[in-house]
Structure 1
């Protein structure tokens, strides 16, 4: 495999994000929420560590969704017909996204508790 430049690699990564944006409704919703997050954090003004945690969790949710989409596409390409093991793998990946989303929700709730406890 030929060496690729850094910019080519970044372009490939952005193409993957764009493909996921086009095909995955949940990713679009999560991306819009992540884009709104800095505005919300600027309005709430939580302690910096909570802002960092919220932003990190938002990026982890998007990354988990990208991993899930990649696994689903690969599995569907390699084994288009239904197979219990493929279904279980896809369910596990979706479960991982669910857990990261739950963690992000908990961080968000704790951030709100801290913000409103200070007021």
Structure 2
């Protein structure tokens, strides 16, 4: 086996231990900055989260309900970041229309929609159960 060829991908990264953790944190912050700069949907979802997160912390709900509400907000951001990563990778390959590229982008978009619908459902059920007495 050639001694110059790394055994696995982790050898290509070059950093280990705390230096790797520090670098990974920096890359993550860079990812957030790039998403904010280049992705309108990310900015919209962060804005929505900035409104709903304090509301989730303020509302008189159980701890488990609060965790579910916040977890759904986080899930939307996670899925949006992954969708944006897929779109960027596809766009790097080329901007020409290709069925598989379109499918990948549509699947990512569908994942974001599912996360948003889940958030709407969880928040709706919790708010309705907690505050339905105000409607009667």
Q: TM-score, normalised by structure 2?
A: 0.81
**Structure 2 contact 56–70 (Cα < 8 Å) conserved:** no
Write the distance in 1 (CA, Å) between the matches of 2:57 and 2:133: 16
Alignment partner, residue 31 of structure 2? 16
- What is the RMSD computed on CA atoms of the aligned residues? 1.5
Q: Distance in 2 between matches of 1:115 and 1:46?
A: 7
The gaps in structure 1 that reach 5 residues or longer are none
Aligned partners of 2:53 and 2:115: how far apart in 1?
19
CA distance in 1, matches of 2:44, 2:32: 14
Does 2:35 match 1:35?
Answer: no
- C-alpha distance in structure 1 between counterparts of 2:61 and 2:132, whole Å: 11
Highest RCO, 1 vs 2 (Cα 8 Å, sep ≥ 6): 1
Displacement of 1:106: 0.3
* Number of residues of Structure 1 aligned to a counterpart in Structure 2: 119
Moved over 3 A (4+): none
* Whole-angstrom distance in 2 between the partners of 1:74 and 1:85: 13
| Bigger helix share | 1
TM-score (norm 1): 0.92
Higher radius of gyration, 1 or 2:
2
SS in 1 for 2:95: coil
Judge conservation of contact 1:46–1:114 (CA < 8 Å) in 2: no
1:106 pairs, out of 121, 127, 131, with 121
